[in-house]
Amino acid sequence: MAGSNIKKIGLLAGPLLCAAALLLPGGMLSPDADKVLAVAIWMVVWWITEAVSISVTALLPLAFFPLLGVADMKSVSAAYGNPIIFLFFGGFIIALAMEKVQLHRRIALKVIQLTGTSPDMVVLGFMIATALLSMWISNTATTLVMLPIALSVVEMLQHDEDGFTSNDKNFALSIMLGIAYAANIGGVATIIGTPPNMVLIGFLEATYDIEISFLQWMTIGLPFSIVMLAILYVVLVKWLYPNRLQGRASGKTVIEKELSRLGVLNREEKQVLAIFMLAMLLWIFRTQLNIWLPMIPLSDTGISMLAGVLLFTLPLNWKKGSFILDWEDTKKLPWGILILFGGGLALADSMSESGIIDAIGSAISSYSGLTEIFLLLILVFVMLFMTELMSNVALVTIFIPVVAGIAGGFQIPLIELLIPVTIASSCAFMLPMATPPNAIVFASGHVKVNQMVKTGIYLNLLSVLVIVILCKWLLPVIF
């Protein structure tokens, strides 16, 4: 009931505050900047209160910037067709194909099988498999794939000869939290792994003409994911919830049973796997290929769309005229996320054009006593704990232009602040409502709120240190 009231208040407060900002005597910055700020206030209120869908809120620039004379419809709508959006669209298509043919499930089971069958290794296997999948498909879909497998393993412990002991409960809790947190951590490793990464890449390219390639992002994102997975394993299994179980065959039995259900690798899976591997290799070696073959200019977006088109057009059965994907399958695509990207880019572009970002930088630069490392710590800390309470995509969309202004004010290279802050947005470990994976595993009944909060606080603080250390010393080397 309280949530419903907050939504109602937000629904009214958004446009009222927008109108108040427009009618403010004397204005705030300049006529154009004031109009952009007014719409931005409206969007922030709706995003925070979730008065309407965050994707609907992202349409406000398209509706009101032309009406207010901030920009014409052509320039505003161009943000909703930014190439970065099609990069993510292609990634969605690849993920959709993997889910349709159950390839993601097979990959997960194989990874778990390879890590071993001791209780600790089973937990590690679930974490690694979840993180690997989350690099390429949504963390929500990844969690939904992994949870039934994990529940099958836990169910066998519940019905064994000694019942569901405290050690069994620790084992179950470690698997559940491991899946949720690994889904969030794994997405950081690639550009298409999680929406906030895409928001940042699009903002830098559209506003500052700074391009970060797929491989460049992986050189910072992948080390972060590996380090955080190692920390997650130690925190869960060796520190907070040690299970002290002796080696059991229950995990092995479940995995083998699930793999037998899938049968041998079929033609559909082979075709999707081949296209997925082709896209991954082209993304990783794109820069080198462009040097070797300058007549074929490859881009990350072009590679993504090439893979997407192949999945729709390469015949699976020539006689029957069947393909891996039909357009009907795209009903499952998260179209709202693509609109959200467009709205964020439109807002960020208008903030830049109207001088708001420069004004933020000028205002912040007066605090010259702050060191770069202290500033970085503050921004990462603020982002990380704010993302516990609101959508990380919406938060990054709001926060990134502000941080860009701060970077300009302190004359710090943009990426040295923007990349750490963006990574921090994916580190919501404390609350069930913070991310879909957290909510999904919480619904399993094996995780209590106080257990998630306790674990999440430690992981949040540790992730701040990892982000700052990695980004402070690794980013200058990469870029």
Does 140 fall in a domain? yes
Does 462 fall in a domain? no
Statement to judge: residues 124 and 217 lie in one domain: yes
- In terms of phi and psi (left: phi > 0; alpha: psi -120 to 50; beta: otherwise), the region of 53 is beta
Which two structure tokens, joined as six digits, stand for 469? Answer: 């250390």
Per-residue model confidence (pLDDT) at position 278: 92
Cα–Cα dist 404/25, whole Å = 28
Which two structure tokens, joined as six digits, stand for 156? Answer: 């066998």
Per-residue model confidence (pLDDT) at position 235: 94
Statement to judge: residues 97 and 35 lie in one domain: no
Per-residue model confidence (pLDDT) at position 341: 79
Per-residue model confidence (pLDDT) at position 24: 85
Cα–Cα dist 330/97, whole Å = 10
The tally of domains found in the chain comes to 2
Q: Point out the domain boundary residue: 332, 364, 393.
A: 332
Cα–Cα dist 310/33, whole Å = 44
Per-residue model confidence (pLDDT) at position 3: 62
Per-residue model confidence (pLDDT) at position 246: 63
Which residues, given as ranges, of the chain have pLDDT below 50?
Answer: none
Statement to judge: residues 88 and 43 lie in one domain: no
Statement to judge: residues 140 and 240 lie in one domain: yes
Does 467 fall in a domain? no
Does 383 fall in a domain? no
Statement to judge: residues 11 and 88 lie in one domain: no
Does 401 fall in a domain? no
Is 110:259 a contact under the CB 8 Å cutoff? Answer: yes
Statement to judge: residues 100 and 10 lie in one domain: no
Q: Point out the domain boundary residue: 307, 332, 357.
A: 332
Per-residue model confidence (pLDDT) at position 98: 85
Per-residue model confidence (pLDDT) at position 430: 85
Class of residue 166 by CB neighbours under 10 A (exposed 0-12, middle 13-18, buried 19+)? exposed
Cα–Cα dist 457/442, whole Å = 16
Does 353 fall in a domain? no
pLDDT tens per residue across span 347-384: 888 887 888 877 776 776 666 667 888 888 888 988 88
Per-residue model confidence (pLDDT) at position 364: 66
Which two structure tokens, joined as six digits, stand for 41? Answer: 């206030």
Per-residue model confidence (pLDDT) at position 60: 94
Does 236 fall in a domain? yes
Q: Point out the domain boundary residue: 317, 332, 347.
A: 332
Cα–Cα dist 419/214, whole Å = 14
pLDDT tens per residue across span 67-111: 999 889 999 999 898 887 888 888 889 888 888 888 888 888 888
Range of the domain at 187: 84-332
Statement to judge: residues 212 and 316 lie in one domain: yes
Statement to judge: residues 42 and 94 lie in one domain: no
Cα–Cα dist 316/206, whole Å = 38
Statement to judge: residues 217 and 299 lie in one domain: yes
Statement to judge: residues 37 and 178 lie in one domain: no
Q: Percentages helix, strand, coil for the chain, rounded to the nearest 5?
A: 75, 0, 25
The CA-to-CA distance between both ends of the chain, in Å, stands at 49
Residue 322, strand partner residues = 317
Statement to judge: residues 19 and 115 lie in one domain: no
Statement to judge: residues 36 and 94 lie in one domain: no
- Crossing angle between the packed helical segments 103-115 and 267-292, to the nearest 10 degrees: 90
pLDDT tens per residue across span 46-78: 887 888 888 899 899 999 999 999 889 999 999
Does 214 fall in a domain? yes
Per-residue model confidence (pLDDT) at position 419: 94
pLDDT tens per residue across span 281-291: 888 888 888 88
Per-residue model confidence (pLDDT) at position 104: 82
Is 189:138 a contact under the CB 8 Å cutoff? Answer: no
The contacts of residue 356 (CB under 8 Å, 6+ apart) are 29, 33, 36, 37, 401, 405
Per-residue model confidence (pLDDT) at position 128: 93
pTM for this predicted structure = 0.82
Determine the distance from the C-alpha atom of residue 403 to the mean position of all C-alpha atoms in its chain, rounded to a whole number: 19
